[in-house]
Amino acid sequence: GLRSEVNVPAGAKIEALLKDLDAEAAGRLERHRGLILRLARLESIATTSDTPKGSIQDVIDGATLILPLAGVIDIAAETQRLKKEIGKLEGEAGGLEKKLGNEKFVANAPEAVVEENRERLANALEARDRLAEALARLQAA
């Protein structure tokens, strides 16, 4: 979830804000408020029309979820960590793309090895994209 993408400490109780909440989402929130608070380790859930500075956002079913993180995490340090991790994943993906682009490797390596490399490439690209989304959210905070 959003918390783990930007390294919010597991024990940190944070507030969630919901903006542009539709009627169906509001009903679900009221029915499941206690469960949501417990599972997401939230201090509270409130509705808002503003987005506080230092917040990350994500569009969820029927609303915009806002997590105010100023004072909870070091946004600058987390931005650097995400950039470093994205660079590492891009390097890994580049190496795998080069290997899989080598016709000799693909022709001579056992099919299981080629498939494993394809899976590793797909996983690296997926992780990179997920972290890039988290970085974009932080940079917009």
- pLDDT tens digit sequence for 121-135: 999 999 999 899 888
**67-88 pLDDT, tens per residue?**
998 888 888 898 999 999 999 9
Per-residue pLDDT at 114 exceeds 90: yes
Residue 93 belongs to what domain range? 75-140
Q: Which helix (H) or strand (E) holds 46?
A: strand 42-47
Note whether 56 and 141 are within 8 A (CB).
yes
Q: What is the CATH number of the domain that holds 100?
A: 1.10.287.380
| Domain end (from 68, 97, 121) | 68
Pairing mode, if any, of strands 14-19 and 63-68?
antiparallel
Neighbours of 11 (CB within 10 A): 6
How far apart CA 69 and CA 51 sit, in angstroms, is: 11
The pLDDT assigned to 74 comes to 87
| Domain end (from 68, 91, 106) | 68
The pLDDT assigned to 16 comes to 93
pTM score of the predicted model: 0.70
- Is there a single domain that holds both residue 134 and residue 93? yes
The pLDDT assigned to 10 comes to 84
How sure is the predictor about 43, in pLDDT bands with cuts at 50, 70 and 90? very high
Q: How many residues does the chain have?
A: 141
Note whether 132 and 86 are within 8 A (CB).
yes
Q: Which residue has the tokens 């490797």?
A: 105
**4-19 pLDDT, tens per residue?**
888 888 888 899 999 9
Per-residue pLDDT at 101 exceeds 80: yes
- What is the rounded average pLDDT for all residues in the chain? 91
- Is there a single domain that holds both residue 60 and residue 92? no
Per-residue pLDDT at 53 exceeds 90: no
- The residues, ordered by sequence, that sit 6+ positions from 88 with a Cβ below 8 Å of its Cβ are none
